[in-house]
Amino acid sequence: MKTLLQLNASLFSGGGESSRLAATYVAQWRAANPGARVIARDLASHPVPHLTAETFLALLAKPEERSPAQREAVALSDALIAELEAADVIVLGLPMYNYGVPSTLKAYFDHVARAGRTFRYTDKGPQGQLAGKKAVVLATRGGMHAGTPRDTETAYVREFLGFIGIRDVEFIFAEGLALGENAKASSLASAHRAIEAAAAERDEEAAIAA
């Protein structure tokens, strides 16, 4: 069964602009994939804790060497990775907060970057283990940053996903959301058009593959 994982990183949970764009993408994907499974993970209402030394060492330790608290921490990492492994498509709602990705997303990334699980060290360098997946990122910002050095998010998220093996990553931006009602409306309309175009492209690919 096809599976989509929706990750919302907005501090406003489902009410954030990025979450709402992600939800629009997911609704279109669901319509094109009836009966498919959608897993939703909201990083604001269910934040992943900061990575601590205790957790990091737990991830490296043998199962029988872990304390009860460490076993709990590893169980969370295992559950997050299982969701990624199950997903064919990952849809990420990605706001910009204070010139970077939400700290909740960084904490999530810190729990899914696991040597031996999501990447392996080889003699050719690290090799991502989550191959054959697509990620779609709905990136929202108050200002205009894409294509400038202020956009600290795009290269970072693309690099991180690539590191764990997710190389097919598409970004859809809604920028200038704090630049007045007109700018906001036009930016969101353009993001919706990009979502529709992505859906049309997906349907075309599916028709060719069938």
Ligand X SMILES: Cc1cc2nc3c(=O)[nH]c(=O)nc-3n(C[C@H](O)[C@H](O)[C@H](O)COP(=O)(O)O)c2cc1C
**Which among 16-24, 55-63, 114-122, 191-199 is the span making contact with ligand X, rule CB under 6 A?**
16-24
x/- letters, 83..112, toward ligand X (CB under 6 A): ----------x-xxxxx-------------
Q: Which of 4, 6, 18, 58 binds ligand X (CB under 6 A)?
A: 18
118 contacts ligand X (rule: CB under 6 A) = no
Residue with tokens 């939400």: 102
Residue 17 engages ligand X in binding (rule: CB under 6 A): yes
CA–CA gap between residue 143 and residue 128 (Å, rounded): 33
Q: Tell me: does residue 188 bind ligand X (CB under 6 A).
A: no
User: Alpha-carbon Rg of the chain, whole angstroms?
Assistant: 18
User: Which residue in this structure is represented by tokens 């993001």?
Assistant: 191
**Shortest CB 22 distance to ligand X, Å:** 9
Comparison of 123 and 181: residue with beta carbon closer to ligand X: 181
Task: Give the Å distances, CA to CA, from 86 to 25, 40, 132, 174, 186.
Answer: 19, 12, 11, 28, 36
Tell me the per-residue interface mask from 25 to 64 with ligand X, x by CB under 6 A, - otherwise: ----------------------------------------
Alpha-carbon distance of 84 to 28, in angstroms, equals 20
Indicate the burial class of 77 (C-beta count within 10 angstroms; 0-12, 13-18, 19 or more).
buried
What is the number of other CB atoms lying within 10 angstroms of the CB of residue 182? Answer: 9
- Under rule CB under 6 A, residue 178 binds ligand X: yes
Q: How far apart are CA 115 and CA 102, in angstroms?
A: 24
Span interacting with ligand X, options 33-41, 78-86, 121-129, 136-144, rule CB under 6 A: 136-144
Applying CB under 6 A, the span of 13-21, 29-37, 126-134, 160-168 interacting with ligand X comes to 13-21
Longest dimension (CA), the chain: 59
Contact by Cβ (8 Å): 25, 138: yes
Chain residues in the site for ligand X (CB under 6 A)? 10-12, 16-19, 93, 95-99, 140-143, 145, 177-178
